[in-house]
Amino acid sequence: MKKPGEVFADASVYDPGIEAIVPRYDELHDAILNSPPHDRNDPVNVLELGAGTGELTTKLLTRFPKSDVLVVDHSEQMLGEAERKLETFGDRATLERGAFPDDYPAAEDEYDLVVSSLAIHHLDEGRKRDLFDAVYESLSPGGWFINGDVIRFDAPHLETVSGEMIENWVRSKGWQEDDFMDEWQASDDYDDPSTLTDQLVWLRDAGFEAVTSIWQYYNFAVYGGRKSE
């Protein structure tokens, strides 16, 4: 049985599949990577929530070569793919199976940077707010939280436009539209995206400052905030 985030039954096809579902997937990752204030050679202690197959993790470890990343995902399949992908980085990547906010982040942790990509939209409003509170507590002073995710529009016509955009993107990638969209729609059972406006408010409620939207393309956005010094 598939779990939230397992859009495809076979995790080995997740990487090419997600690039066919998420328009400008690499651009979304670039926005996450470009947002933290850290210099390339800073020793950055990173927590990644919902790391999937480790694609963003690979980019983080490459961008910040003195960093360490705790890689968290609830899916054994995804972690298996991530483990193979991250072998080259040795002990700089630590993989843990767990859920958020139940298991991670722990109150005693202290990270310079917490990131997530295409994962938090599986949580309902209450759980998102609980997670934002927990992330704030887990950050070191001045630390940043950056999330790239699916968002929801309040305007129904914009939801329709976004859905049509995704279907057109799938076709442009050469996938069989009907079969592919059936897989995508099946994953919607686990989705509960919130509006970007609401999530920025919840981040402020959790104590974050410098809360901002960094990048957006239709119903995909990168946003975040900083813990006070």
pLDDT digits 0-9 by tens, 90-122? 999 999 999 999 999 987 779 999 999 999 999
Confirm whether 156 is domain-assigned.
yes
What phi, psi does 118 have (nearest 5°)? 55, 45
Domain count, the chain: 1
pLDDT of residue 39 exceeding 60: yes
Can you read off the two tokens belonging to residue 39? 């210099």
pLDDT at position 18: 80
* DSSP H or E run through 25: helix 25-34
Sign, CA dihedral 153-156-161-164, equals positive
The answer to whether residue 2 sits within a structural domain is no
**Residue 218 resides in a domain:** yes
pLDDT of residue 2: 41
pLDDT at 192 over 80: yes
Residue 29 lies in a domain: yes
State mean pLDDT over 209-215.
98
User: Can you give the pLDDT at residue 183?
Assistant: 57
CA distances from 178 to 59, 110, 170, 201, 218 (A): 32, 45, 10, 37, 22
Distance of CA 171 to the CA centre of its chain: 24
Confirm whether 136 is domain-assigned: yes
Residue with tokens 């901002």: 212
Q: Among 13-17, 38-42, 91-95, 131-135, which stretch is predicted with the lowest mean pLDDT? A: 13-17
**What range defines the domain where residue 58 resides?**
11-226
Q: Give the amino acid at 143.
A: G
CATH number at residue 56: 3.40.50.150
What secondary structure letter does DSSP report for 191? -
Query: Does some domain include residue 86?
Result: yes
Q: How far apart are CA 168 and CA 20, in angstroms?
A: 10
The closest of 33, 202, 198, 27 to 113, measured between CA atoms, is 33
Instruction: Note whether residue 110 is domain-resident.
Output: yes
Q: What is the pLDDT of residue 171?
A: 83
Of all residues in the chain, what percent carry a pLDDT higher than 90?
A: 76
User: What is the tens place of the pLDDT at every residue in 118-157?
Assistant: 999 999 999 999 999 999 999 999 999 999 999 999 999 9
In a domain, 3, yes or no: no
